[in-house]
């Protein structure tokens, strides 16, 4: 499989998800404008850009939470035309939110079970009469939910009966990903999955995002602020600024792109500039590519 995604963007292959001139206006504000983007199977693609650049809005447009003003979003060759969020999930896209949206008063396990909603078949009558197959389905669902939790180690499995509100921030992010995985997506959209995490947790997040692709063969679209994360794991990076895509390419290309640097340096605060410059520093070869091993 390594061979497969090393030569990632191939014009001959059909993209899994394709955005064509997608535009979204909020009143007078053009939050997203004429964005084109293609994501190929088993790629990790990042969207970066300063705050307010329209990254989350792109996610909301893809997942059917907002309606695009114009443009087309194509998934597996079929347009996602006005599909409502649950239909989008059904097609094989799942997402997490920048401000974690878990069901706080449900347990970890129940949260993941909700994610399995579409996979389960029991109707309201089946739920009441609970024939053997439903019982089996329910047991199977629990087993699978725990399996998904165990993707993040025994740690979350042990806390399966905890209310998510009692979990650490990093754990909540993990549960949210587990919930998204529960719908068996082909494409996973992660909105700033390391926001609010400390260094160690961030490193771990980088690790499991890679594993999501390598072990579960998922395609991942990622919004990420921390450049050390994006640079390390992305196959390709798209840069948004003021709703427009100003650059797209391999991490190395983006690192050197003039427009990207000005977009960031032009508006970022000093602290931001420093992170950017740290990230721009050329990385040792082995570290940048160690996920290929």
Partner 1 sequence: MAMLVPSQILPQTGETRRLLLKWVIAFLVPVLVFTLVWSGEAILNAALLAIFFPGSFSIAAIAAGLFMLLFYGIITGLTGYLVAADSGRQSLLDLWISMFFFTVVPILLIYITANLFVGLAASVVVWAFYYYGRRLVRRFRPPAPLPPLPSLKVLDAEMRATLLTRARLGSFWFALSFSLIWLLVDLLFYFTGQYGQASLVFLVWILLRSVLLPVAGWLLGSLGGLVAIRHAVPANGNGSNGDRAGAPVSTRRLRLLSATRAREEARDLVPNDLPLRSTGARNFYLLLLLALLVFYPMIDPFLFGPGTDSRLDNYGNAGYYVILALGLNIVVGFAGLLDLGYVAFFVIGAYTWAMVGSPQLTVLTGIHINPDIWPWLFWPMLIVAALIAALWGVLLGAPTLRLRGDYLAIVTLGFGEIIPIVVQNLDKYTNGTNGLTGIYSPAFFGVHWNVSTSEPYYYLILVLIAIVLLANLRLRDSRIGRAWIAMREDEIAAAASGINLTRTKLLAFAAGAFFSGIAGAYYAAKLSTVTSGNFSFSDSVIYLAMVVLGGLGSIPGVVVGALAVYAVNVLVLPQLDALGNDPSSIIYPIYTHILQVIPNFSFSNIRNLIFGIILVVLMIFRPEGLIPSTRRRHELHHTEAEGVEITSLDTPPGAPGFESEMRVE
What separation in angstroms does the CA of 215 have from each of 19, 196, 278? Answer: 26, 26, 30
Give yes or no for residue 194 binding ligand ADP (CB under 6 A): no
User: Which position among 103, 151, 208, 242 is part of the footprint of partner 1 (CB under 8 A)?
Assistant: 103
Give yes or no for residue 83 binding partner 1 (CB under 8 A): yes
What is the distance between the alpha carbons of residues 27 and 6, in angstroms, rounded to a whole number? 42
Classify burial at 199, counting beta carbons within 10 Å of its beta carbon; exposed 0-12, middle 13-18, buried 19 or more. exposed
Dihedrals phi, psi of 173, to nearest 5 degrees = -60, -40
Choose the one of ligand ADP, Mg ion, partner 1, none that binds residue 136, judging by a C-beta under 5 to 8 angstroms depending on kind: none
Q: Quick one: which segment of 104-112, 214-222, 258-266, 284-292 binds partner 1 (CB under 8 A)?
A: 104-112
Give yes or no for residue 52 binding ligand ADP (CB under 6 A): yes
Dihedrals phi, psi of 200, to nearest 5 degrees = -65, -45
For residue 53, the minimal CB distance to ligand ADP (Å) is 4
Residues 25-54 that bind partner 1 (CB under 8 A): 26
Residues 131 and 149: beta-carbon distance below 8 Å: no
For residue 55, the minimal CB distance to Mg ion (Å) is 5
What is the distance between the alpha carbons of residues 260 and 276, in angstroms, rounded to a whole number? 10
What separation in angstroms does the CA of 56 have from each of 24, 96, 222? Answer: 12, 11, 10
Give yes or no for residue 62 binding ligand ADP (CB under 6 A): no
What separation in angstroms does the CA of 90 have from each of 32, 41, 86, 97, 249? Answer: 25, 18, 6, 18, 30
Choose the one of Mg ion, partner 1, ligand ADP, none that binds residue 237, judging by a C-beta under 5 to 8 angstroms depending on kind: none
For residue 225, the minimal CB distance to ligand ADP (Å) is 9
Give yes or no for residue 99 binding partner 1 (CB under 8 A): yes
Strand order in the sheet with 219-223: 93-95, 187-191, 219-223, 44-48, 236-241, 244-249
Nearer to ligand ADP among residue 51 and residue 136 (C-beta): 51
For residue 52, the minimal CB distance to Mg ion (Å) is 8
Classify burial at 139, counting beta carbons within 10 Å of its beta carbon; exposed 0-12, middle 13-18, buried 19 or more. exposed
Query: x/- site string to partner 1, residues 155 to 184, per CB under 8 A?
Result: --xxxxxxx-xx------------xx-xx-
Give yes or no for residue 118 binding partner 1 (CB under 8 A): yes
Q: Which residues bind partner 1 (CB under 8 A)?
A: 26, 56, 60, 63-67, 82-86, 89-90, 94-95, 97-99, 101-106, 110, 113-118, 120, 122-124, 126-128, 130, 134, 138, 141-143, 146, 154, 157-163, 165-166, 179-180, 182-183, 191
């Amino acid at each position: 499989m390594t061979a497969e995604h090393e030569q990632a963007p191939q014009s001959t292959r059909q993209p899994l998800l394709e955005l064509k001139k997608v535009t979204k206006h909020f009143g007078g504000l053009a939050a997203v404008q004429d964005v084109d983007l293609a994501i190929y199977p088993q790629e990790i693609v990042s969207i970066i850009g300063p705050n307010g650049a329209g990254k989350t809005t792109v996610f909301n447009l893809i997942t059917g939470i907002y309606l695009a003003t114009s443009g087309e979003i194509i998934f597996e060759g079929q347009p996602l035309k006005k599909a409502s969020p649950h239909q989008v999930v059904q097609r094989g896209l799942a997402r997490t939110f920048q401000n974690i949206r878990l069901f706080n008063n449900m347990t970890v396990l129940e949260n993941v079970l909700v994610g399995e909603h579409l996979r389960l078949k029991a109707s309201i009558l089946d739920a009441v009469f609970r024939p053997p197959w439903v019982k089996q389905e329910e047991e199977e669902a629990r087993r699978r939910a725990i399996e998904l939790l165990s993707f993040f180690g025994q740690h979350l499995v042990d806390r399966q009966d905890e209310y998510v509100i009692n979990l650490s921030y990093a754990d909540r992010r993990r549960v949210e990903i587990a919930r998204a995985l529960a719908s068996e997506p082909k494409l996973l959209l992660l909105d700033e999955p390391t926001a609010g995490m400390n260094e160690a947790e961030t490193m771990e997040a980088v690790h499991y995002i890679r594993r999501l692709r390598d072990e579960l063969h998922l395609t991942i679209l990622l919004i990420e602020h921390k450049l050390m994360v994006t640079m390390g794991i992305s196959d390709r990076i798209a840069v948004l600024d003021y709703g427009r895509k100003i650059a797209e390419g391999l991490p190395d290309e983006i690192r050197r792109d003039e427009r990207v640097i000005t977009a960031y340096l032009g508006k970022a605060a000093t602290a931001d500039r420093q992170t950017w410059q740290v990230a721009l520093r050329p990385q040792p070869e082995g570290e940048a590519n160690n996920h290929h091993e």
